[in-house]
Structure 1
Amino acid sequence: MKKTIFLSIFIFAIMLMSCNKTDSKVAENTATYFQNTETGIQTGGVKMIPIETPKGKFNIWTKRIGNNPKIKVLLLNGGPGATHEYFECFESFLPAEGIEFIYYDQLGCGNSSATQDISLWDLPRFVEEVEQVRQALHLDKDNLYVLGHSWGGILAMEYAMKYQQHIKGLIISNMMASAPEYDRYAEEVLSKDMDPTVLKEIRSLEAKGDFNNPRYMELLLPNFYAKHVCRLPIDQWPEPMNRSFSKINQSLYVTMQGPSEFGISGKLEKWDRKNDLKNITVPTLVIGARYDTMDPKHMEAMSKLLPNGQYLFCPNGSHMSMYDDQDIYFKGLIAFLKK
């Protein structure tokens, strides 16, 4: 009996010591993650980065969340022309895993310098902008992961084509590698999924170039956006997403994407890098979703064309699957980053 009591006390003591060590480790990791590395005036992780362009100098807004010398995720937002704000849901998942990430508003977006010079809306120039941001933030192949969502995925792919020697890994979220193939998917799949009467009226407005007609968005919201952009009830769309979308730089969006939601007609109309994916050798995660505006089968094929690619499928998600299929999106992303 005494031996049993002694053994129970001994086991309890070991468990208590183990818990104390775990709590201590968690506290240590938390302290390290939130360690302040800024010098001078404290700005909450915000850093304005001056960049050079063919049209002079501009300032780019960035904000660092957390501190992890091995994993730093630079977020490239979509649109083109949206803001970093719809990525704010990342704060509910990455800090708990000790993963550092960096918000970044591209030129002409959000808190970065505003300009209406459409000559700056050019893919190679945006690539050089990302490179200048990387250098200013002292990110390198030992820690930098570039995550590009939607248009940001195009930018991420282009950046990796030229500068992959500076990155540790790549995440292409909800973006195909070919604008012509996206056009075909929009025409052959997404359009046919819509009520023919609604589609006819949308096509009529587009043919007239009447994109600013309130009726155009009135038709798109329930018949396209609610099905393929974010499948949460429209009146429950997340505030950070609404806030970001409300600030879209229309000049940038129309110049690069074109005014229509069915396919691409702007500068990116003929963009196609599918056959060049074999040249991206860094570990790459491609994220697709069942109800996305982008073809999930195409994105799965992309992962197989990448020498070190893998695919994450969000069965309940759409284009904003970081919101409408959060559990699978973030579990997969975190597993990739930690692997």
Structure 2
Amino acid sequence: MKLKLLLCFSLFTVLLSGCKNKEDNCKNDYLDFSQRDDQATGGIKMIPIKTPAGEFKVWTKRVGNNPKIKVLLLHGGPGVTHELYECFDGFFPNEGVEYIYYDQLGSYYSDQPNDTRLWTNERFVEEVEQVRIALGLNKDNFYLLGQSWGGILAMEYAFKYQNNLKGLIISNMMASAPEYNKYAEEVLGPKLPKEVFEQIKTFEKNKDYKNPKYADLLFKYYYTEHILRKPLNEWPEAVNRCFKHMNPNVYIYMQGPSEFGITGDATLKNWDVKDQLKTITVPTLVIGAKHDTMDPKHMEWMSKEVQNGRFLFCANGSHLSQYDDQKTYIPGVIKFLKDVDQNNFHPKK
């Protein structure tokens, strides 16, 4: 009897050891750069991009190894940086999610040509496709996550190249710039103190965007409510660094001089793809937030308009929900990635 018990105990110990070793091997594989051509640079690659204005290079950085889940991150702006996503470092590695930081052309860590011919949706879509090819991403592993302007770019990419995607995440972005402007003007603006809203509108009417008082009003009353819901002195260092690195030339040309809607002669002012959403068949997660600059009801509608959509609502979040509602945002993104990977994705209509 003692011998049988001893054998059973030994077998149980081996099984436990095997499970543990398997888990350790998975983590070791995730962290192993030894077989990669970017080991010497810590995962960083400067990828050549062909454009109508010549060849330039864009900055990318891969974190981790996962042959089945590779998430390319499209930052907002246009003209800000990958730094808005740096909080992912605290969550994705432990879940085995491979993710790729990427500064689009014109952004801080990439080349910054001064040529407005380059700042079009179509040209940026082709840039993303060139990045995809250079990184070896394909329909068996390629997830695209775009937030704000990055959400516009993600949608535009999917309209043309969704056959290359395994999954799509549209974060904090409506499918219509005119409806975004209307929401800012008719819903968010009136929530501001009346005198503040009137001052903001006066500055914009006079195109006095560089007036320090204009920026002060936006930061104090608007940004801390609808961009990132924390006092300015508590904003994460990565977010402050991102805004410090913003390229205003690209931003103003496409988005306009204000976060309070898309203003002036910005090229995105009339962008609207509501009628095209139904053509997206790839599994899609749409993320909206209660306090966002974007209408969360519109984004919930988007999740139903695409053919295989799911909606993630961040009740405590704003435009940068990955920071001010992490308890909802991060687990929701990870669940989507793993559900799609495990063929367990079910659209929620």
Give the TM-score normalised by structure 2: 0.92
Match in the other structure for 1:201 = 199
- After superposition, the CA RMSD in angstroms is 1.9
Aligned to 1:136: 134
C-alpha displacement at 1:8, in angstroms? 9.5
Task: Flag the 1:40–1:299 CA change in 2: closer, same or farther, 3 A.
Answer: closer
1:35-62 deviation per Cα after TM superposition (whole angstroms, max 9, x unaligned)? 2132387111111111111100100110
Q: Which residue of 1 aligns with 2:165?
A: 167
Q: Within 5 Å, which residues of 2 pair with 1:75-154?
A: 75-154=73-152
The structure-2 alpha-carbon separation of the partners of 1:258 and 1:29, relative to structure 1 and needing over 3 Å to count, comes to: same
Is contact 2:253-2:267 (8 Å) kept?
Answer: yes
Unaligned runs of 5+ in 2: 340-349
CA distance, structure 2, for counterparts of residue 260 and residue 41 of structure 1: 40
Which stretch shows the higher mean deviation, 90-99 or 258-267?
258-267
Q: Distance in 2 between matches of 1:40 and 1:5?
A: 55
Cα offsets for 1:57-82 (capped at 9, x unmatched): 10011000000010000000001110
What residue in structure 2 maps to residue 242 of structure 1? 240
- Amino acid corresponding to residue 320 of structure 2 in structure 1: M
Of the structure 1 ranges 203-212 and 150-159, higher mean CA displacement relative to structure 2 is found in 203-212
Structure 1 match to 2:21? 24
The answer to whether residue 302 in structure 2 is matched with residue 305 in structure 1 is: no
Over residues 295-330 of structure 1, what are the superposed CA-to-partner deviations in whole Å (9 max), with x where a residue is unaligned?
000000000001000000010000000000001101
- Deviation, structure 1 residue 233: 2.1
CA apart distance, 1:120: 1.0
Tell me: CA distance 1:138–1:11, structure 2 relative to 1, closer, same or farther (3 Å): same
Q: Residue 163 of structure 1: CA displacement? A: 0.4
Q: Which letter does structure 2 place at the counterpart of 1:79?
A: G
Q: Distance in 1 between matches of 2:111 and 2:307?
A: 37
CA distance in 2, matches of 1:70, 1:95: 14
Post-superposition CA distance 1:155-174 (Å, at most 9, x none): 00000000001111100000
Kept after mapping to 2: 8 A contact 1:84/1:110: no
CA deviation after TM superposition for structure 1 residue 106, in Å: 0.3
Decide whether the 8 Å contact of 2:162 with 2:282 is kept in 1.
Answer: yes
Distance across 2 between alignment mates of 1:228 and 1:40: 38
- Distance in 2 of aligned mates of 1:13 and 1:317: 51
SS of alignment partner, residue 245 of structure 1? helix
Please give the alpha-carbon distance, in whole angstroms, between the structure 1 residues aligned to 2:255 and 2:38. Answer: 41
User: Aligned to 2:59, what secondary structure does the other structure show?
Assistant: strand
> Number of paired residues?
336
Can you list the C-alpha shifts for 1:199-232, whole angstroms capped at 9, x where unaligned? 1111111112111111111111121000000002
| Residue of structure 1 equivalent to 2:346 | none
Distance in 2, matches of 1:274 and 1:205, equals 31
Hey, what does 1:65 align to over in structure 2? Answer: 63
Q: Percent identity?
A: 56
